[in-house]
Amino acid sequence: MAFDLTQATVAAIAARIQARELSAAEAAQHFLARIEQHRGLNAFVATDAEATLAQARAADAAIAAGNAGPLAGVPIAHKDIFVTRDFPTTAGSKMLEGYRSPFDATTVARLAAAGAVTLGKLNCDEFAMGSSNENSAYGVVQNPWDASRIPGGSSGGSAAAVAARLAPAVTGTDTGGSIRQPAAFCGVTGIKPTYGRASRYGMVAFASSLDQAGPMARSAEDCALLLSAICGPDLDRDSTSLDRPAEDFGRSLNDSLDGLRIGVPKEFFGDGLAADVRAALDAALKEYEKLGARLVEISLPRTELAIPVYYIIAPAEASSNLSRFDGVKFGHRAAQYGDLLDMYKKTRAEGFGDEVKRRIMVGTYVLSHGYYDAYYLKAQQIRRMIADDFQQAFKTCDVIAGPVAPTVAWKLGDKSDDPVANYLADIYTLPGSLAGLPGMSLPAGFGEGGMPVGLQLLGNYFGEAKLLNAAHRFQQATDFHLRQPEGF
């Protein structure tokens, strides 16, 4: 049977290129052509065929010289939150329109060192703030399964690109669920590692105590390959990086699930969960029981508090991080202004979108004198209690399973006028983010309108290999991750 490059996994493409049955340049050209063919999705905000093919030729030369990395020649794309030398970085904002970084983010550099070839930069919510990809200054991304629906956010372009087979794998970032939720809405696999596992150096900062890089691909096996390249200490350049060596996350993919205790939080399966999503998840959990796992009811009693806690802590950190965008050193600057203060005001008013302004104002408010103790400090205390709830739960289970979002992807514009409705949709992803736990989403069925449903798996700290093993065994027994939207 002929090799189908469009449908090929990262592992299969890498093997073909290493065996010199396919060149990195051919693989790159194939996916660049698909990107052009499907520009209407608006998944990519920047491509440069010349830069991509130069990287591909370098990968082919490394293979010929016998010193190629494990991902040599594999075409990937990066969320536009990671700075890159060869492509502009905008973070989905007018504030950084046309910005070129003098260096690569650590995640980008590590994947390049493993031999991966960059196809371009992917659309995202402005400064990664959003759950729908409707906040990008460069327009909304369409969900490949239904162009009238959101792809999820903030890594919407990343998830849509994988679902539409415009790239075999991509990078994303997850602050409060921004890898897991778009992966669920677009029917792909995505994983956020333990906080601190992947370097934040060169990621445009949103909320520094929450932001984490991770891969998205069609399968758990492919995610394991990318995650193994991304993770590892970066102590000289990232103060939040953990001093924990890189590891092979695919080492236990095929281990048996016999005796695996899967915790099912009662708070995740309450009234707010749509019936179609619940039905898909119930079927997925039954499949796990067939594979030898055991379901254990657990409680995460502070689940509801995750939303107010997150929407105090994240905007507070955002207001601090985004203060650097003032029109002085880089980024957008207002064309006309009176004095320095007027320049600051006009630059930030013109450069930032509504959602970013909203979060900056909320963050500035909760950090202001007289409100810090009442809001920010209290939120940090409850954050610790949420993390303690997880540690209590992990005494009786090995991994935790539940929904990624209460519904399937909603229609474009449905929640645009109600920011709080958007925030409430993050209820199942926020607790794991606040605790800094590894979490992933894998395709687990279909719901209303034939839209994908994602199953969320959460592990204890440094439990990525266990999560990937549980996901891989499920994907060996089901075909949800192989299905693709019509027309792609």
Residue with tokens 């440069």: 48
CB 240 within 8 A of CB 248: no
Report the alpha-carbon distance of residue 260 to residue 249 in Å, rounded.
Answer: 18
Burial (CB count <10 Å: 0-12, 13-18, 19+), residue 12: middle
Closest by Cα among 140, 111, 108 to 124? 140
SS3 (DSSP) at 339: coil
144: CB partners within 8 A, 6+ apart: 41, 151, 160, 163, 164, 186, 485, 487, 488
Report the alpha-carbon distance of residue 441 to residue 191 in Å, rounded.
Answer: 7
Helix (H) or strand (E) holding 457: strand 452-459
CB 332 within 8 A of CB 224: no
- DSSP class of 410: P
CB 416 within 8 A of CB 388: no
37: CB partners within 8 A, 6+ apart: none
Backbone angles phi, psi at 216, to 5 degrees: -130, 135
Amino acid at 405: A
Report the alpha-carbon distance of residue 70 to residue 64 in Å, rounded.
Answer: 14
Report the alpha-carbon distance of residue 24 to residue 377 in Å, rounded.
Answer: 51
Report the alpha-carbon distance of residue 278 to residue 291 in Å, rounded.
Answer: 20
Backbone Cα Rg of the chain: 21
Report the alpha-carbon distance of residue 292 to residue 135 in Å, rounded.
Answer: 43
**Residues forming the active site:** 79, 154, 178
Amino acid at 408: V
Sign of the CA dihedral running 230, 236, 241, 243: positive
Backbone angles phi, psi at 119, to 5 degrees: -85, -25
Task: Give 213's strand partners.
Answer: 173
